[in-house]
Amino acid sequence: MKKTLTAIALAALAFSAHAAEKLTIGATAVPHAEILEFVKPTLTKQGVDLQIKVFTDYVQPNVQVAEKKLDGNFFQHQPYLGEFNKGKGTNLVSVAGVHIEPFGAYSTKVKKLADLKDGATIAIPNDATNGGRALLLLDKAGVVKLKDNKNILATSKDIAENPKKLKIRELEAATLPRILGQVDVALINTNYALEAKLNPTKDALIIEGNDSPYVNILVARPDNKDSAAMKKLSAALQSPETKKFILEKYKGAVVPAF
């Protein structure tokens, strides 16, 4: 009888472990996947099997959430998500704001932007929101002057004044660290800068302040944004423990937004 009860108990435990709710989240490697890896043990204890799928681009993580190949993703800010939804006809939603990655300008050729020569080449991301973000930062630094310095979707066509006749090249965000030596300045998203071993707080010629509106968010679909597993992930990402992890690991290159 005891053996039977023991077998039943073991089977129940095995079933319970097997029944942990699986949650698959797409993320870029740094810092998003690293932050997810940090909260993974907490979620395991709460009965959530967090699976992390790493991407190197900004399109597929959203496409795969919309197609239900992923439960959610963690790599983008709200302005980018809004433009993606508008352009692709999707309706992905923000679940929680987690951190800010201050956007910066980098160079291997000049020590400060004032040293840029006439006709120098500046590379910026080619997606609408990050390209606009780069131009706003250049405007704030006095390198160029935009027609409207509040327009987060500004393009090179919106440059009103360009006294040094700088050449603006629009390239895929992920490629910018790799071509840094081929241009005079590149404006690079912090996740890609960190992957390339650039230290935003030390290496950036200019960098956004902590008041940046580009908070990186956990994203899901309307049908699963309120699921129990998603709520547990959201809570873990906004916990005091996660805040401490971000502050200690990234030392200002990534800033908690909660």
What are the tens digits of pLDDT across the range 215-255? 999 999 999 999 999 999 999 999 999 999 999 999 989 99
What is the rounded distance in angstroms from the CA atom of residue 160 to the CA atom of residue 62?
A: 34
Q: How confident is the model at residue 2 (pLDDT cuts 50, 70, 90)?
A: very low
**Residue found by looking up tokens 């006439």 in the block:** 118
Give residue 18's pLDDT: 52
Per-residue pLDDT, averaged over 121-130, amounts to 95
3-state secondary structure 71-99: CEEEEEEHHHHHHHHHHHCCCCEEEEEEE
Q: For residues 153-170, give the mean pLDDT.
A: 97
- Burial pattern 154-185, b for ≥16 Cβ within 10 A else e, equals bbbebbeeeeeebebeebebbebbeebeebbb
Closest CA to 127 of 67, 177, 87: 87
Element (H, E) at 30: none
Lowest-confidence segment of 4-13, 17-26, 74-83, 192-201 by average pLDDT: 4-13
